[in-house]
């Protein structure tokens, strides 16, 4: 035991970090479920609207044109930068990183959900989620 450890009046009580990738998530209460379904979620309802699927293709084409306009960028590097830009900003940050919604109209019912979970009321394998999974794979 070092001098610093003996001199400290506080004993360090901490657990070692687990290397597990499994995250414990608290199950939502029934009242939170009712709050989520009481009004439409304006944060994620645009994903199912007209033209929302096509905008992904437009963004990819615009990024490709932007990166190809730089003189030192080859075709291969242009596609790589397009892929990284679309995946980092468009997919990861927008759909998987930011939690909650920017407006408060439902008493915090969506505060613990990322955008991906808010789409189609957390239903899996919907056409929208299939499209949003297919586009990066195709890219």
Per the listing, tokens 């927008």 go with 94
Per the listing, tokens 């400290």 go with 8
pTM over 0.95: no
Say yes or no to pLDDT of 1 above 60. no
Helix (H) or strand (E) holding 10: none
CB-count burial class (<10 Å; 0-12, 13-18, 19+) for 26:
exposed
Which residues have C-beta within 8 Å of that of residue 50, sequence separation ≥ 6? Answer: none
- Both tokens assigned to 85: 């830009």
Residue 22 DSSP class: -
Positive or negative, the CA dihedral 52, 84, 62, 79 is: negative
pLDDT tens-digit map of 2-57: 555 555 555 555 555 555 566 666 666 666 665 555 566 777 778 888 888 899 99
Please write down the long-range contacts of 13-21, taking CB distance under 8 Å and 24 or more positions apart.
none
Domain boundaries, the chain: 11-138
Q: What residues are paired with 99 via a beta bridge?
A: 114
Does residue 18 sit in helix, strand or coil? coil
pLDDT tens-digit map of 103-118: 766 666 777 788 888 8
pLDDT tens-digit map of 52-79: 889 999 999 999 999 999 999 999 999 9
């Amino acid at each position: 035991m070092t001098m610093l450890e003996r001199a400290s009046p506080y004993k360090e009580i901490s657990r070692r970090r687990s290397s597990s990738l499994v995250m414990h998530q608290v199950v939502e209460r029934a009242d939170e479920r009712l709050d989520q379904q009481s009004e439409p979620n304006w944060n994620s309802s645009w994903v199912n609207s007209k033209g929302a699927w096509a905008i992904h293709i437009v963004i990819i084409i615009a990024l490709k044109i932007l990166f190809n306009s730089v003189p030192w960028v080859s075709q291969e590097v242009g596609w790589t930068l397009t892929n990284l830009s679309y995946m980092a900003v468009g997919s990861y940050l927008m759909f998987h990183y930011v939690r909650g919604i920017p407006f408060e109209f439902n008493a915090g019912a969506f505060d613990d959900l990322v955008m991906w979970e808010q789409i189609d009321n957390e239903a899996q394998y919907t056409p929208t989620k299939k499209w949003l999974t297919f586009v990066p794979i195709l890219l």
